[in-house]
Structure 1
Amino acid sequence: MKLFVFIAVLVAAAVITDCSHTFLGTNVLRQQVFHRNVKYNSYTFQKRVEYLNFTIPAKFGYSSSIQGILAYDRLDSSASANVTAGGLGFNSLSLRMKSQRGRGLSYDVYIYV
């Protein structure tokens, strides 16, 4: 049994490091409150770093919290998207997106409560 758990964790770690998409939480039976196609042009010989800030609108209630985040890399590059503030369980989010050197950024960002 311990061997099975070890192999499962090892495979999950390999999948997470190989993937450039970011999936946090769940979207099952959750309401989508935000969707945006984020697209930025490239800088020559430099990595592009951009931030996306989001706060849940008051119409969803002050007790609402983020339950799911999906940042899908549309270019299938080795870009990365990381949560730097807030996130799951909070009512706000700061998402840092960093491109591959010399390439642009193109993400589909979905947030669920």
Structure 2
Amino acid sequence: MKSIYILGVLVLVCVSSCVGKDLIVGNSFNTRLLWQQKAEYMGIPFKKRVKEVFFSDPGQQVIRAIIARDVDHTDASATVTAGGVGSTFANLRLKSERGSGLNYIIEIYA
């Protein structure tokens, strides 16, 4: 009975992680949060919204992980366009689906 419960929880975790289009690059285990920002744009009918997010660490710490979570679980996408894991800076591009807005929480770990 206990193994069925654990299997059910694992299936729910897998399904819930596949619903949104989150960006997870690197490994945030045993690291510390260096920077966090909320990126929001309101939707415009028939238009895709694009937002560029730039991060540069003045302390020159190396980035270990980047996580961009889609709060609204839409078909928006997030990509790293420059820098990223192994660098001291990161540029991210967030792009919404047509007609909807963006609502992301971006976390960078060092």
Q: Shorter-chain TM-score: which interval?
A: 0.7 to 0.9
Deviations 1:32-71 (A, max 9, x none): 110111111112201001100000122xxx3x21100000
* Secondary structure of 2:85's aligned partner: coil
Deviations 1:56-92 (A, max 9, x none): 122xxx3x21100000000100000000000010000
1:48 matched to 2:45? The reply is no
C-alpha distance in structure 2 between counterparts of 1:53 and 1:37, whole Å: 12
Question: What is the aligned counterpart of 1:74 among 54, 68, 71?
Answer: 71
* Secondary structure of 2:63's aligned partner: coil
Question: What is the aligned counterpart of 1:94 among 77, 91, 96?
Answer: 91
Report the alpha carbon displacement of residue 17 of structure 1 after superposing the two structures with TM: 8.3
TM-score by length of 1: 0.78
Size of the aligned set, in residue pairs, is 94
AA matched with 1:73: D
C-alpha distance in structure 1 between counterparts of 2:91 and 2:72, whole Å: 21
State, as a whole percentage, how many aligned pairs show the same letter.
34
C-alpha distance in structure 2 between counterparts of 1:102 and 1:53, whole Å: 24
- Equivalent residue runs for 1:1-113 within 5 Å: 19-58=20-59, 62=60, 64-113=61-110
* Secondary structure of 2:94's aligned partner: strand
AA matched with 1:50: K
